[in-house]
Amino acid sequence: MKKLKNPEIRYLNDMKSVLYDQKWAKTAPNFELYYMHRGLKKKGELRYDITIIPPRMLGKEFVRTKGNRNSKKFQELYIVLEGEAIFLMQKAKGKAVEDIIAVKAKKRECVIFPPRYAAITINPLKKELKIGNWVSEKNKNIYKELEKMKGAGYFYTKTGWIKNKNYKKIPKLRFEKPLKTMPMNFGAGVAEWQTR
């Protein structure tokens, strides 16, 4: 594996529009939030990345990724390497959220982001979160849907989950368990959630 250097850096200014605490965001300086190391391994058309999210509060909200949806029907497999993550996934159409799922995962536990679901990774602890992920190199990250709605259907804050008022319809947040081991193929994990 390549050494972790020259990461792509996500700054606060890159995602101010999708944060819960807009009052805080207006006066906060533009600092580094998290680091994306892409293409550390390759297997066929799959690419392995590592993202490092240091502990921090974004005003009242726990630090997280900006969030995106994969293009076409691409899935994505995530594994927690260090720390603990909350993976938030939602399927939405316009201003209506059709389904929204939260999965808390610890070291070595895995989560599969299903096709057509936007995904956000949250670091809820006071220690660094390191996650690895496998995704198709043909995939393109789509950010505009979450940007338009100023975030996902829920924000994870000091006081718990808070609904995003920009949506007209948001179902109750569904909590699922992570996969304890890495699946042989992505489809197996997705099917497990969809049949519950």
Under a CB-based contact definition with an 8 Å cutoff, are residues 118 and 98 in contact? Answer: no
pLDDT in tens, 66-110: 999 999 889 999 999 999 999 999 999 999 999 999 999 999 999
What confidence category does residue 191 fall into, taking pLDDT thresholds of 50, 70 and 90? very low
pLDDT at 30 over 90: yes
Is 41 inside a domain boundary? yes
Under a CB-based contact definition with an 8 Å cutoff, are residues 54 and 63 in contact? Answer: yes
Number of domains present in the structure of the chain: 1
Q: What CATH number has the domain bearing residue 112?
A: 2.60.120.10
Is 55 inside a domain boundary? yes
pLDDT at 53 over 80: yes
What confidence category does residue 31 fall into, taking pLDDT thresholds of 50, 70 and 90? very high
Mean pLDDT score, 173-196: 66
Lowest mean pLDDT among 40-44, 63-67, 108-112: 40-44
Is 15 inside a domain boundary? no
Mean pLDDT score, 58-64: 98
pLDDT in tens, 94-150: 999 999 999 999 999 999 999 999 999 999 999 999 999 999 999 999 999 999 999
Is 189 inside a domain boundary? no
Mean pLDDT score, 21-30: 97
pLDDT at 195 over 80: no
Q: Which domain holds residue 126?
A: 34-177
What confidence category does residue 186 fall into, taking pLDDT thresholds of 50, 70 and 90? low
3-state helix, strand, coil in the chain (%, to 5): 15, 45, 40
Is 3 inside a domain boundary? no
Beta bridge partners of 169: 96
Output the pLDDT for position 193: 37
Mean pLDDT score, 19-45: 95
Q: Which residue in this structure is represented by tokens 């789509």?
A: 142
Confidence (pTM)? 0.91
CA end-to-end distance (rounded Å), the chain: 37
- Which distant-in-sequence residues (6+ apart) come within 8 Å of 104 by Cβ? 84, 85, 86, 124, 175, 178
Mean pLDDT score, 166-193: 77
Handedness of CA 13, 34, 128, 153 (dihedral sign): positive
Is 10 inside a domain boundary? no
Is 2 inside a domain boundary? no
Phi, psi of 34 (to 5 degrees): -155, 170
Q: How far apart are CA 56 and CA 65, in angstroms?
A: 12
